[in-house]
Structures are given as structure tokens and as C-alpha cells.
Structure 1
């Protein structure tokens, strides 16, 4: 029994072909949108690549870009097919290509769904890459004279100003690293030397943060040094004046930023997937209805269209039998060394022991 069978008149078939032609051209535009979204995500990742650990994060935007390009090609071909199918005689040139086209388009729509799910599943890898990458960027913040690292101070400062964040998890992360270069430390001062010697690793640690951590909305001048010392500043309480600095960590700020982008792209992919699935369904109805017209021989007659000629179970069973028969043919070809003219002994002739039967003498 056919699945979702629908009866079409000639007028309905012509209208369906025209609508599908328009929808396929709309799908070409959606393919360009997919390509643009993948390119946008790739550019956004590259803009802050130095703040991320070396992780393979480009596989998602690369897949989105490839999917967009394939969408343009497939839907362009689909538009041409649907335009010609408005005439039954022109359908003959596409008849053999229709089923492979529908199968390829089905797998392509599945790839769109996979791309949408990958956008939602990228968060954990991105979070790990940002965590490790920001730690390294803060560690090398002071190395302004080291080739390959001299740009990190500017990058981190711009990041903290733009995203209104401080440190990796918070401003206290700066207390655990030396972010001031030794060239800017006055070694003639005893307190500087004592602080260097007091640390096992010889680092100059202090309860201070870079200027880019200052909260521009604070009513008082920024307190970025001796933050935990309430007596070092006039009318200052460490526990209540933390709003003087950005309290959000940059890892969380960047993660929220990229998560918003990927969720928006994932939602767009899901909408396009549903649209492509509806177009594919219409093409399948058009194909089956036109094939039934050719069987009847009257181009003006009514015809049935369906998604599957048989039920899901029967279709799966027939496809499995086809695959199984192909496997048996492959085994026979292997046994014959590729020569179909060589007869291979079979137990159907020689018995279960694969030996010829004994000759029984016939009395004359």
C-alpha cells in the first residue's frame, strides 16, 4: 500500500511543477545564506584565534560553507528539472535521473540537519579552547618584547574593554600571574626585590589588574592596584567596591558571545532543513505522478502520487533483499575470478560434501 498517496489532475501537476521551480530558486538563495553564515562563523573564530587553544574548531564553519555551496548546485539542478517537468514530454529526458536526484537530495538535507546539531554541540569544545587559550594569553601578557607574543597585551586589553570582562574566570586571576614585565620594575626598591624573592618561582605577584579591567560605569576613579587593601585608599572598602572592576570573566563573556552566534546559525539551519524537506517532498510527488501518467499513456489523465510505493516495512525489506542479492553476486564473481563463463560447483548439484555422487552401474 502506497504511503501518503495523493491524486493529481493535469492542472495540479502543472501548478506543482511551477511552484517547485520557484521554491528551488528560493533554495538557491538559502544556499547562499548557508554559505554566508559559515563564512561569518569562520571569520569570527579567526578574529580571536590567538585567545583559543589549538583545537579543531574550523570543521563546523567548513561544513557550513560546503553545505551552502552544494545547496546552490543541487537546487539549481532541481529548478531546471521542475521547469521541464511542466511538460510531460520533457519529463522523459529526466526520468532516469529523477530517482538518483531525490536520493542525493535526501542525504543532503540530512547533512543540513547534522550541521545544525553540530552548531549546538560545539559549545563544550569551544569552552575548553577558550579556557586554555585565555590562560596562555594572560601568562604572556607581559612579553611585549618577545616576537610572536608582543601583540597579546593589546589583544587582551581590547578584549576586556570590548566585552566588559576581566581575567579568565574573574579579576582575581590576575593576582596569580606576573602581568608586569621585569623591565618596568624598579629593582633598586627593596619592596620590589622582597616581593620577587618571596615567590618560589621568582614572580612579581600583586593584588592588581590591568587598566582594561576598570569599570567605566563606576562613579569613582578606578582602583587597580592594592585592590584587597582597604586602608590603601580613601573611603574604600574591598568587599563593597568590587563594582569598580568588571566582575565577569572573559571566558564566560566570549562563550556567551559565540554561543549566541552558533544558536542563531543552528536555528537558521533547522528552518532551512524543514524548507528543503518540504521541497524534496513536492519533487517526489511530482516524479511519481508523472511516472504514472507515462504508464497510462494519456498526458491529460489523472494520476496518483506518493512518497513510497509500498509501506515503510516493505520498502525496507525490498531494499535489504536487493543489497543481499548484490552481496551474493559479488561472492560468485570472486569465486569465478571475475569470469562469468566458469561454472562453480554448488552443493545443489554435488551434495553437502561438495563431492560428485557415485556412479551407479546400469544393467544392460
Structure 2
């Protein structure tokens, strides 16, 4: 028994075809939007590629770009099919291809749903990527004279200013690395010598941060050196001076920014997925309704009623038929392989 059977007359078939034509072109517009969102996310990720450790984070924007392009192609084709559906001569050329086309559409819907889920789930891998990338970028902050790294100071400074953040997890991350270049250190100074000797790796570590960590909302001039020394500054307590520096780390700031982008894009992908499913269901009804119509010799005006359905049989019967077809294909491949092996052995036996 057919699943979700609906009766159609000529007027309903025309309305269905016209409605599907409109929905398909709306889906083309949605595909363009998805493509644009993927391109925007890719550009945003490339802007901070210097503080990201690998290219795994580009999987989501690349998938959005690919799915957006495929949506434009599939829906443009479906729009043409719906436009030709009520012209018997034009529809005849599409008729043999509609069943395979609908199967491809189902696979496309699965891909859309997976990409939407990836938008929500990719934030976990993005957090690790940002943590490693920021840690590496901060180590190269001082290398302003090293080819290939001379831009890192500017990148980190602009990042901290734009996202109102400091360090990887917080401003104390700067205490653990030498972010001042040796070029600007006076090695004849006793203080510099003592600091370098006191460190196992021979690095010049200070309890200070770059100027880009300063919060302009602070009512006092920014304190960026000797941050943990209360006696070095008048009326200062480093445990209560929350407005002096940005408290949030850049990893949390970037993760929040990209996370909100990906959540929005995931929600948009789910809406596009629902629209695509609606279009495919409507196209299936139009296909089966036209298949069930009598021939031109019986009804030249094409005004007879016909029935459309979603599945020709119930869900369980359709699934069993699908599994049986898969088994037949597998058995056919095994027979062909065995036949090929016997043919190879025959000349040797002679």
C-alpha cells in the first residue's frame, strides 16, 4: 500500500508544479546565501590563520561552499523540471531521469544535515586549534627581525585590541614567555643579567604584558610592567585592578566569536535542509501524480484525476526491498569475480 497517498486533479497538479517552481528558485537563493556564508567564514578564519595550528578548521567553510554550489545546481535543475512538468512533450525527456534524480536529492539532504551538525560540533576541535596556535604565535611575538615571523607582533597586538583580550587563557600567559626581543635589552645591566641567569632556559621573563592588553576604560594610565608588584605603583593592588588589563583570554574570545558564527550558520543550514526536504517531497508527489495519469490517447486534455504518494509501499516494505536489491548486487559482483577467476585459470589447465 502506498504511503501518504494524495489525489490530484488538473488544477492541483498545476498549483503543485507552480509552487514547486517558486520554492526551487527560493532554494537557489538559499544556496547562494549558504555559499556566501561559507566564503565569509573561510575569509574570517584565514584572517587569523597565523594563530591557528592547522587547516582542520576550514572543513566547515569548505563544506558550506560546496553544499551551497550543489544546492544552486540541483534546484535550478528541479525548477526546470517543474516548469516542464505539465507539458507532456517536454516532460517526456525528464521522465527516465526523475527516479535517479530523487535518490541523489536524498543523498544531498543527508550531506546537508551532516554539514549542519558539523557547524555545531566543530567548536571542540576549533578550541584545540586556537589554543596551540595562540601559544605558538605568542612565542614568536618578539621575533620582529626574523623573516617569516616579523608580522607576528602586529598580528597579536591587533588581535588583542580587536577582541579585547590578553594572552591565551589570560594576561599571566605573558609572564611565562620572553616577549621582549634581545635587541631591546641592555645586557650590560645587572637586572637584565640576573633575570636571564635566574631562568633555566636563559630567557628574559618579566611580570609585564604588551601594550595591546591595556583596557582603555581604565580610569588610570595603563600599568603593563611589574604587574604583581604593588609597591612599584601608587595606590595599586594587582588583585583588584580588574579594569587595568583585559581579563579574558584570546582563546575564549575567538572561540566565542567563531562559535556564534558557526551556530548561526548551523541554524541557517537546518532551515535550508527543511526547505530542500519540502521541495523533494513535493517533487516526488508531482512525479508520482504524473506517472499515474492515463495516456494522451485516453485523456487528451490531461484533466483526469491521479494519485500521488511519497513511497510506493510502506516504510518497512521499502526498506526490505532496498536491502534485497543490495544483496542481489553483492551476489552478482561475487559471481562475476568467481567467473573471472575461472577464466584466468582455464588457459593454464590446458
TM (norm. structure 1) is 0.90
- Give the conservation status (yes or no) of the 8 Å contact 1:88–1:290: no
* Aligned residue number for residue 80 of structure 2: 80
> Take 2:217 and 2:105, find their aligned partners in 1: how far apart are those partners?
54
> Take 2:218 and 2:211, find their aligned partners in 1: how far apart are those partners?
13
Q: In the TM superposition, what is the alpha-carbon distance from 1:133 to its structure 2 partner?
A: 0.6
Aligned pair in 2 of structure 1 residues 334, 221: CA closer, same or farther (>3 Å)? closer
Q: Are 2:200 and 1:206 aligned? A: no
Q: In the TM superposition, what is the alpha-carbon distance from 1:57 to its structure 2 partner?
A: 1.9
* Aligned residue number for residue 348 of structure 2: none
- Give the conservation status (yes or no) of the 8 Å contact 1:18–1:86: no
SS at match of 2:131: helix
* Aligned residue number for residue 317 of structure 2: 314
- Give the conservation status (yes or no) of the 8 Å contact 2:196–2:204: yes
- Give the conservation status (yes or no) of the 8 Å contact 2:165–2:213: yes
Q: In the TM superposition, what is the alpha-carbon distance from 1:58 to its structure 2 partner?
A: 1.7
Please give the per-residue CA displacement for 1:40-80, whole angstroms capped at 9, x wherever unaligned.
11111100000011242222211111111111111111011
SS at match of 1:244: coil
Q: Are 2:312 and 1:326 aligned? A: no
Q: Which 10-residue stretch deviates more, 95-104 or 277-286? A: 95-104
Aligned pair in 2 of structure 1 residues 294, 336: CA closer, same or farther (>3 Å)? farther
> Take 2:304 and 2:327, find their aligned partners in 1: how far apart are those partners?
38
Aligned pair in 2 of structure 1 residues 151, 316: CA closer, same or farther (>3 Å)? same
Correspondence list, 1:128-139, <5 A? 128-139=128-139
- Give the conservation status (yes or no) of the 8 Å contact 2:50–2:133: yes
- Give the conservation status (yes or no) of the 8 Å contact 2:294–2:304: no
> Take 2:294 and 2:270, find their aligned partners in 1: how far apart are those partners?
36
* Aligned residue number for residue 184 of structure 1: 184
Considering only CA atoms, is the larger Rg found in Structure 1 or Structure 2? 1
Please give the per-residue CA displacement for 1:125-169, whole angstroms capped at 9, x wherever unaligned.
110011011111111111110111110000000011110000100
What is the Cα-based RMSD across aligned positions, in Å? 1.7
> Take 1:336 and 1:205, find their aligned partners in 2: how far apart are those partners?
75
